[in-house]
C-alpha cells in the first residue's frame, strides 16, 4: 500500500493555493507549479546515495529538504498527491529515444496518464529541460505550449511518442505503449538508472530548474541560462563553483558536491 503524502507540506513546497478538485484546472495548475518549484537533478546518484521511491523518503527529500530529483522520484510523488486528491493516475514506464531508437532503449523513464472528463492527459514532471510543463492530451498531434516549448503526443502503431519542439528543433523524447506497469517495474528501472555503470545518470551531472527568472540547465561543467534572446553558456571552473550555483539557482546547498565524483568529467573523477 502506498503511503499518503503530506498535502499541506507539498502545496507549500510548490506554492500552490489553487483548486484541489478533480479536473483539468487542478491537474494543469499543480503540474505547472511542481515543475516550477521542484528541480530536476541527479546529485544523489553521483554521491553514491540510494535513490528511494517510498513516499516518506520522497517527501523528506523533495519537499522538506527542498531538493529535486529525477523521473522516478518526481512522478512517484506527483502520482501519490494526485491519488490523494481523488485523481485516477496510472503509472507507466517509457523508453527514452533522444539518443537511441526505442528498439534498443530500456524502460528508464516514468510518466503518468490521468483520465478526466475532458479526456486523457500525460503528466511528465521528471524529464528535465524537456518536461512538458502542462498536461499533454493523449490525442495524436494535439499541441500544448509553454513559452517557446511545444509538446505533443504522436501515435506510431501501438506506441505513443512524446515530441518536443524548441525553436526549429523537434525531438522524439520517449515512447511508451501505455501499459499499466507494476510498482516493482519502477524499482527495477530506478535501480538500473541510479547504479549501472553505463547509466548516463551515473556518469554525468544533469540538472534543470524552471523557477529562476530564466530556465537554467547544468550538464557536467556547462551551465546554460535559456534567455529570450537565446541560450547563454558558461563553463564551471570546478565543483566549488557548481555547489555555489546549485545553492543560488536551485535553492539548496550540498557541501558534498565539492568532493563529488563525476566519471564523465575526467578532472572531477
Taking only the tens place, the pLDDT of each residue in 42-91 is 999 999 999 999 999 999 999 999 999 999 999 999 999 999 999 999 99
When pLDDT is averaged across residues 142-164 and rounded to a whole number, the result is 95
Assigned domain for 139 exists: no
Assigned domain for 259 exists: yes
Per-residue pLDDT for 2 more than 70?
no
Q: How many domains does the chain have?
A: 1
Alpha-carbon span 176 to 127, nearest angstrom: 14
CATH code of 241's domain: 3.30.2140.10
Assigned domain for 63 exists: no
Assigned domain for 226 exists: yes
| Residue ranges making up the domain that contains 213 | 196-263
Nearest Cα neighbor of 132 from 106, 171, 104 is 171
124 catalytically annotated:
yes
When pLDDT is averaged across residues 158-186 and rounded to a whole number, the result is 94
| Residue 147, pLDDT score | 84
Each residue's pLDDT tens digit, 200-222: 999 999 999 997 778 999 999 99
Q: Does residue 26 contact residue 19 with C-beta atoms inside 8 Å?
A: yes
| Residue 74, pLDDT score | 98
When pLDDT is averaged across residues 82-105 and rounded to a whole number, the result is 95
From the list 34, 92, 109, 226, the catalytic residue is: 109
Assigned domain for 185 exists: no
Spatial CB neighbours of 13, under 8 Å, sequence gap ≥ 6: 37, 38, 62, 63, 66
Spatial CB neighbours of 229, under 8 Å, sequence gap ≥ 6: none
From the list 34, 92, 124, 210, the catalytic residue is: 124
Q: Does residue 119 contact residue 138 with C-beta atoms inside 8 Å?
A: yes
Per-residue pLDDT for 3 more than 80?
no
From the list 34, 71, 92, 208, the catalytic residue is: 71
Assigned domain for 222 exists: yes
Assigned domain for 208 exists: yes
Assigned domain for 245 exists: yes
Amino acid at each position: 500500500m502506498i503511503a499518503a503524502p503530506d498535502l499541506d507540506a507539498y502545496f507549500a513546497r510548490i506554492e500552490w493555493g489553487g483548486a484541489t478538485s478533480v479536473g483539468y484546472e487542478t491537474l494543469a495548475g499543480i503540474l505547472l507549479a511542481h515543475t516550477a518549484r521542484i528541480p530536476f537533478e541527479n546529485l544523489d546518484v553521483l554521491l553514491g546515495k540510494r535513490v528511494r521511491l517510498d513516499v516518506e523518503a520522497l517527501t523528506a527529500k523533495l519537499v522538506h529538504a527542498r531538493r529535486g530529483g529525477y523521473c522516478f522520484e518526481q512522478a512517484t510523488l506527483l502520482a501519490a498527491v494526485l491519488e490523494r486528491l481523488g485523481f485516477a493516475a496510472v503509472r507507466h514506464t517509457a523508453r527514452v529515444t533522444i539518443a537511441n531508437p526505442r528498439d534498443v532503449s530500456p524502460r528508464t523513464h516514468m510518466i503518468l496518464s490521468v483520465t478526466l472528463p475532458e479526456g486523457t492527459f500525460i503528466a511528465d514532471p521528471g524529464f528535465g529541460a524537456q518536461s512538458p510543463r502542462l498536461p499533454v492530451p493523449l490525442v495524436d498531434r494535439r499541441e500544448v505550449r509553454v513559452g517557446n516549448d511545444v509538446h505533443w503526443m504522436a501515435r506510431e502503431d501501438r506506441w505513443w511518442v512524446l515530441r518536443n519542439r524548441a525553436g526549429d528543433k523537434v525531438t522524439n523524447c520517449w515512447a511508451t505503449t501505455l501499459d499499466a506497469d507494476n510498482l516493482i517495474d519502477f524499482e527495477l528501472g530506478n535501480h538500473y538508472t541510479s547504479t549501472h555503470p553505463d547509466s548516463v545518470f551515473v556518469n554525468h551531472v544533469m540538472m534543470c530548474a524552471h523557477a529562476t527568472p530564466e530556465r537554467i540547465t547544468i550538464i557536467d561543467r556547462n551551465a546554460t541560462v535559456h534567455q529570450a534572446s537565446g541560450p547563454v553558456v558558461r563553463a564551471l571552473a570546478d565543483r566549488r563553483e557548481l555547489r555555489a550555483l546549485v545553492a543560488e539557482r536551485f535553492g539548496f546547498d550540498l557541501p558534498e558536491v565539492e568532493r563529488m565524483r563525476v566519471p564523465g568529467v575526467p578532472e572531477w573523477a
